[in-house]
Structure 1
Amino acid sequence: MRFALFLGAATAALAVPAVAFAADPDPKIAPSRDKHAGESPAVPAAEDEQDQDHGHESADSGIIVTAPYVRSQVDVLSGTSVLSGEALTRQIKPTIGDTLASLPGVSASSFGPAVSRPVLRGFQGERIRILTDGIGSIDVSNTSADHAAAINPLNADRIEVLRGPAALLFGSSAIGGVVNVIDSRIPRRIPTEAVHLDLIGNYSSASEQRSAAGHLDVPLGNGIVAHADGSYLKTGDLRTGGYLYARNVRDHALAHAIADNEPELAEEASVRGRLHNTAARTWDAAGGLSIIRDGGSLGFAVSRYESLYGVPARFDVHDHGHGGGGGHDHEDVRLNVKQTRFDVRAEVETGGLFEMLRFRGAAADYRHDEIEPDGAIGTSFFNQGWEGRVELVQADRGGWRGAIGGQFLLRDFRVEGDEKFLPQSSTQQFGLFTLQSFDLGPLKAEAGARYEHSDIRAKADVDLGNPDIARRFDAFSFSLGASYALAPGIRIGLSGSRTERAPSAEEMFANGPHAGTQAFEIGDPGFAKESSWGLEASLKGQGDGYSFALSAYHNWFRNYIYDYQTGAEIDHLPVFQYAQADARYYGLEGELSVRLARLGGFDLNTDLVGDYVHADITGEGPAPRIPALRLLGGLEAQSDRLTTRVEVERVFDQKRIAGYETPTDGYTMVNASISWKPFATKALSLTLSANNLFDVEARRHASVLKDFAPLAGRDFRISARFQL
Structure 2
Amino acid sequence: MQAQPNLLASAVLSALAVMSTAASAQTTVQTAPPQQSQQLQEVVVTASPFANEENAQILTPAKVLAGDELRNKLGNSLGDTLSQELGVSASAFGAGASRPIIRGMEGPRVLMLQNGMPTADVSTVSNDHAVATEAATARQIEILRGPAALLYGSGAIGGLVNVVNDRIPTELVGKPTGQVEARYGTADGQKNTSFSVDGSAGQIGLHVDGNYRDTDNYKIPGNARQGDATSASGRLPNSFTHESSVGVGGSYIADWGHIGASVSSLDDHYGIPTAEKSFIDLHQTRYDIDSLVKEPFAGIESFKFKLGYTDYTHTEKKKDGTADTVFSNRSLQTRWELAHKPLAGWRGNFGIQTDQNNYSALSAVDGSPQLTPRTKSSTFAGFLVEERKFGSVLASAGLRLESVKRRPEGLQDRDFNLFSWSTGALWSFVPGYGLGATYSVAQRAPTVEELYSNGPHESTSTFDIGNSSLQKETSHNIELSLQKTEGLVRWKGNLFQNKVKNYVYGRTNGQVDDAGNADPAGEFLQRFWSQGDATIHGAEVEVSYNLNNEGFSVRGFADTSRGKLDNQGNLPLQPATRYGVDLGWRQGPWASGVRVLRALKQDRLASFESSQTPSYTQLDANLSYTQKLQTMRVTWFALVKNLLNQDIRYSTAVLKDTVPQAGRNLIVGVRTQF
Q: TM-score, normalised by structure 2?
A: 0.92
The match for 2:28 is none
Structure 1 unmatched runs, 5+: 19-37, 48-58, 251-266, 314-326, 461-467
Instruction: Quote the Cα distance in structure 1 between the aligned partners of 2:11 and 2:39.
Output: 35
Q: How does 1:455-470 map to 2 (within 5 A)?
A: 455-460=405-410, 468-470=411-413
Matched, 1:241 2:221: yes
**Quick check: 1:471 aligned with 2:432?**
no
Partners of 1:347 and 1:14 lie apart in 2 by 11
- Give the aligned partner of residue 71 of structure 1: 52
Match of 2:281 among 328, 336, 353: 336
Equivalent AA in structure 2 for residue 444 of structure 1:
L
1:667 partnered with 2:628: no
2:338 maps to what in 1? 392
Residue of structure 2 aligned with 1:451, choices 385, 401, 404 = 401
Q: How does 1:342-381 map to 2 (within 5 A)?
A: 342-349=287-294, 350-381=296-327
Q: Deviations over 1:344-379 (max 9, x none)?
A: 101101253211000111101111111111211111
Of the candidates 218, 225, 230, which is equivalent to residue 268 of structure 1?
230
Give the Å deviation of 1:595: 2.5
Q: Deviations over 1:415-449 (max 9, x none)?
A: 22169211111110110000000112310101010
How far apart are residue 711 of structure 1 and its match? 0.6
State whether structure 2 residue 504 is matched by structure 1 residue 523.
no
2:528 to 577, 597, 602: 577
Counterpart residue number, 1:704: 654
Q: What are the within-5 Å matches in structure 2 for residues 241-640 of structure 1?
A: 241-247=221-227, 250=228, 267-269=229-231, 271-313=232-274, 327=275, 331-349=276-294, 350-397=296-343, 399-417=345-363, 420-460=370-410, 468-570=411-513, 571-595=522-546, 602-640=550-588
Residue matched to 1:690:
640
Given that residues 74 and 541 in structure 1 are in contact (C-alpha distance below 8 angstroms), is that contact kept between their aligned partners in structure 2? no
Structure 1 SS opposite 2:136: helix
**Quick one: which amino acid aligns to residue 576 of structure 1?**
R
Does the aligned pair in 1 maintain the 2:42–2:53 contact within 8 Å? no
Q: What's the offset of the Cα at 1:719?
A: 3.1
Counterpart residue identity of residue 605, structure 2: I
- Counterpart contact for 2:461–2:523, Cα < 8 Å: no
| Distance in 1 of aligned mates of 2:14 and 2:183 | 42
Whichever residue aligns with residue 592 of structure 1, its letter is V
After the TM superposition, which parts of structure 1 deviate over 6 Å for at least 4 consecutive aligned residues?
none
- Which residue number corresponds to residue 169 of structure 1? 151
In structure 1, the residue matched to 2:10 is 8
Aligned-pair identity in percent equals 31
- 2:477–2:498 Cα contact (<8 Å) kept: yes
The Cα shift of 1:343 comes to: 0.6
CA contact (8 A) 1:116 1:148 kept: yes
1:558-586 per-position Cα deviation (integer Å, ceiling 9, x unaligned): 11111122234334211111100111010
Instruction: Determine if contact 2:456/2:464 at 8 Å carries over to the other structure.
Output: yes
Letter in 2 for 1:310: G
The structure-2 alpha-carbon separation of the partners of 1:544 and 1:11, relative to structure 1 and needing over 3 Å to count, comes to farther
Q: 1:98 aligns with which of 57, 80, 97?
A: 80
- 1:647 pairs with one of 589, 595, 602: 595
Q: What letter matches 2:15 in structure 1?
A: A
Q: Which residue of 1 aligns with 2:194?
A: 213
SS at match of 2:395: strand
**For 1:393 and 1:420, how far apart are their aligned partners in 2?**
46
Using the alignment, how far apart are the partners of 2:430 and 2:45 within structure 1?
21
Provide the C-alpha distance between the structure 2 equivalents of 1:718 and 1:490, rounded to a whole number of angstroms: 40
Q: Secondary structure at the match of 2:404?
A: strand
Residue-pair matches, total: 643
Residue in structure 2 matching 1:146, options 119, 128, 131: 128
Q: Does 1:678 align with 2:623?
A: no
Q: Which residue of 1 aligns with 2:517?
A: none
CA distance in 1: counterparts of 2:561 and 2:632, whole angstroms: 41
Indicate if the aligned counterparts of 1:96 and 1:116 stay in contact, CA closer than 8 A: yes
Deviations 1:267-302 (A, max 9, x none): 423x42211001111111111111000111001001
Tell me whether 1:228 sits opposite 2:228 in the alignment. Answer: no
Equivalent residue of 2:501, what SS?
strand
Preserved contact between residue 155 and residue 442 of structure 2 (Cα < 8 Å):
no
Whether the aligned pair in 2 keeps the contact of 1:565 and 1:659 (CA below 8 Å) is no
Contact 2:91 2:98 (8 Å CA) reproduced: yes
- Give secondary structure in 1 for the equivalent of 2:8: helix
For residue 102 of structure 1, what is the amino acid of its counterpart? Q
Distance 1:246 1:98 in 2: 21
Amino acid paired to 1:511: N
- TM-superposed deviation, 1:393: 0.5
Q: How far 1:125 sits from its partner (Å)?
A: 0.6
Equivalent position SS for 2:645: coil
1:509/1:588 Cα in 2 relative to 1: closer, same or farther (>3 Å)? same
Structure 1 contact 596–603 (Cα < 8 Å) conserved: no
Greater shift, 443-452 or 207-216, is seen at: 207-216
Q: Residue 47 of structure 2 aligns to a residue in which SS?
A: coil
Whether 2:605 is the aligned partner of 1:657: answer yes
1:583 partner letter: A
SS at match of 1:192: coil
Q: From 174, 178, 190, give the equivalent of 1:197.
A: 178
SS at match of 1:636: strand
Name the amino acid aligned to 1:443.
V
Q: Write the letter of the residue equivalent to 1:243.
A: N
1:679 alignment partner, SS class: strand
Cα separation, 2, equivalents of 1:282 and 1:596: 34
- Taking structure 1 as reference, are residues 241 and 560 closer, same or farther at Cα in structure 2, changes over 3 Å only? same
Helix, strand or coil: the match of 1:173? coil
In 2: Cα distance, 1:603 partner to 1:437 partner: 38
Which residue identity does 1:268 align to in structure 2? Answer: T
Query: Which one of the candidate residues 43, 50, 68 is aligned to 1:86?
Result: 68
Contact 1:242 1:695 in 2 (8 A): no
What's the offset of the Cα at 1:197?
Answer: 2.8
CA distance in 1, matches of 2:348, 2:440: 18
1:582-619, CA deviations, whole angstroms, 9 ceiling, x for partnerless residues? 11010111222112999xxx421100221111110112
> Which range is displaced more, 303-312 or 394-403?
394-403
Partner Cα separation in structure 2 for residue 110 and residue 477 of structure 1: 30
> For structure 2, which runs of at least 5 residues remain unmatched after alignment?
21-32, 514-521
Q: Which amino acid aligns with 1:384?
A: R
SS at match of 2:398: strand
Between stretches 349-358 and 6-15, larger displacement belongs to 6-15
For residue 75 of structure 1, report the CA deviation from its aligned partner: 3.1
Secondary structure at the residue paired with 1:383? strand
**Aligned residue in 2 for 1:263:** none
More displaced 10-residue stretch of structure 1: 401-410 or 5-14 = 5-14
CA distance in 2, matches of 1:93, 1:597: 21
